Amino acid sequence: MPHASMLRQITDFENRANPYPVYEELRRTPVLHEEEDGPYLISSYYDIKALLHDPRISSDAANLAAAGDDALDQAEETGGLPPSFLRLDPPEHDRLRRIANGAFGPPHRPRRIEGMRGQMRDIVTELIDGFGDARQIDLVDQFAYPFPVTVICRLLGVPREDEPKFRTWVDPLVASLEPDTGQGGVADRQKTAREARMQLGMYLAELVEERAREPRDDMLSDLVNSRGPDGAMTMMEVLSTSVLLLIAGHETTVNLITNGMLTLLRHPEHLRRLREDPGLSVNVVEELLRYEPPVQLVPQRTCISDIEVRGVTIPKGSRIWLVLAAGNRDPERFKDPERFDPDRGDIQHLGFGSGIHSCFGAPLARLETQIALSELARRLESPRLVEDPPPYRQNAVLRGPRHLGIAFEGLR
C-alpha cells in the first residue's frame, strides 16, 4: 500500500487524538513539498518563526486565492464583508489592528481586560455552581464553550440574551477554517459559512449603528467611534473586525481550556500543585500553548517572491503551511519537548503565532484560561477522565476535544 502523504496524515481524523508522531516524522523533512499544486509544509521552530516575521510571506486573502486556495478565499471574501485584518498585509493590516487595539486594551486601555478579571471569576463561579449535584459533566458544553463566548460578548457589548444565537452562526464559520485538502465537502461548508457570516454581519450592523448613535462603555462603541491618528474604521471594517473577534475568541480558547484539563488530568501531580497554588496557572497556560496548542497550523500564507529555506527555493506564488504544533515540539529548540513541564524556564512557544499577525487576543485568552483552570482545579473534588482519549472535533487546524467527560466526587 502506498504511504499516505504527510498532508493527508495531518488532516486525517485518525490522527486527531495524537498528531504528534506525524509531526515528528514531518520534521525529518523540514521543508516538504509533496504535490505540484500543494503547499510547502514548514515544521521546524526556527524556520516557522523566521517566516512569520518575513514580509515576503503574505496573509492577503487575494494572494491566497491567486495561489489556488478557493476554500479559504470564499469564506472571507463573500458574505458581504471585506477581509478582516487577519487576512490583510501592511499597511491596511497595521492601520486596522492599531485602531482595534485602541478599543481592546494596551496601550490606551489596559484596563478593559484586567478590569474584567472580577467578571470572569463570577462567570466561572456561576458555571461551576451550575454543575449542581452532578457527579459527571461534559466540560466542553457545560464550561469551556460558554465561558469565553460570554466573555467576548460582554467585552464587545453584545446583549446577553443574544449570546445563544451566536453558536449557530459561529460554528459554521469555524468549520470553514479547515484547509482544502481535496477530500470533498468544501463547497457545502463554504456555502453554510457564507450565509452564517452574512447573518452575523447583519445582526452586528444593527448593533453597531445603535452604538454609533449612543456609545456605551464597550468595544463595539470604541471601534465605531474611534477617531485617532489612524482615522476611523468604515462601517464595513467595523463589522469585519467584530466578526473576526467573535470567531477568533471562540473555538481557540474553548480548546485551550479543554486541552488544559485533559493534560492536567493526565498529569495529576501538576493538577494537585495547581490546586494548592493558583499562581502556577501562569506557567501551566504557557506550557499548554506549547504542548497542546489550539491552533495547530497556519495554512493561510502565500510567498510573494521566491524564498530560500534550508537550501530549498520556495517559488513565488506558492502556498505555505506553518505547522506551529510541530515547531513547538522541535528538539532543536526545546529540551525534552515531548514532556509536559510547566516548570521549564523558557517557554517561547508558537501557540499564538509570532510577528505582525501574532494573536491579538492573547492577553484575554491567557487570563481566561488561567482563571478557568485554577478554579476547576480548586473546586472539583477528585476529578478523573471518563474516557481517554476523548472524542475529537473534525477540525485539524483548530484542534480539540468535542466532549470531555469528567467524573468527580463533589464540589468545593
Applying CB under 6 A, the residues found at the interface with ligand HEM are 59, 85-86, 97, 152, 244-245, 248-249, 252-253, 256, 293-295, 298, 300, 351-353, 357, 359-361, 364-365
Put residue 366 in one of left, alpha, beta given phi > 0 → left and psi -120 to 50 → alpha.
alpha
The strand pairing partners of 138, in sequence order, are 405
Distance CA 147, CA 163 (A): 11
Give the nearest distance from C-beta 133 to ligand HEM in angstroms: 31
Strand 136-138 and strand 307-309: the pairing is unpaired
Closer CB to ligand HEM, residue 119 or residue 136? 119
Residue number of the CB closest to ligand HEM reads 361
Cell of 192: 453554510
Closer CB to ligand HEM, residue 41 or residue 248? 248
Give the nearest distance from C-beta 300 to ligand HEM in angstroms: 6
Backbone φ and ψ for 323, nearest 5 degrees, come out as: -90, 85
Closer CB to ligand HEM, residue 319 or residue 408? 319
Closer CB to ligand HEM, residue 86 or residue 127? 86
Give the nearest distance from C-beta 72 to ligand HEM in angstroms: 11
Of 183, 144, 149, nearest to 166 by C-alpha is: 149
Distance CA 404, CA 292 (A): 15
Cα-Cα-Cα-Cα dihedral of 157, 162, 168, 169, to 10°?
Answer: -40
Order of strands across the sheet that contains 384-385: 136-138, 405-407, 384-385
Closer CB to ligand HEM, residue 170 or residue 408? 170
Decide if 197 contacts 81 (C-beta within 8 A).
yes
Give the nearest distance from C-beta 135 to ligand HEM in angstroms: 29
Distance CA 275, CA 172 (A): 36
Give the nearest distance from C-beta 358 to ligand HEM in angstroms: 6
Give the nearest distance from C-beta 361 to ligand HEM in angstroms: 2
Closer CB to ligand HEM, residue 62 or residue 359? 359
Closer CB to ligand HEM, residue 59 or residue 131? 59
Distance CA 403, CA 412 (A): 23
Q: Tell me how many degrees the CA angle 211-118-127 measures, rounded to the nearest 5.
A: 95
Give the nearest distance from C-beta 104 to ligand HEM in angstroms: 7
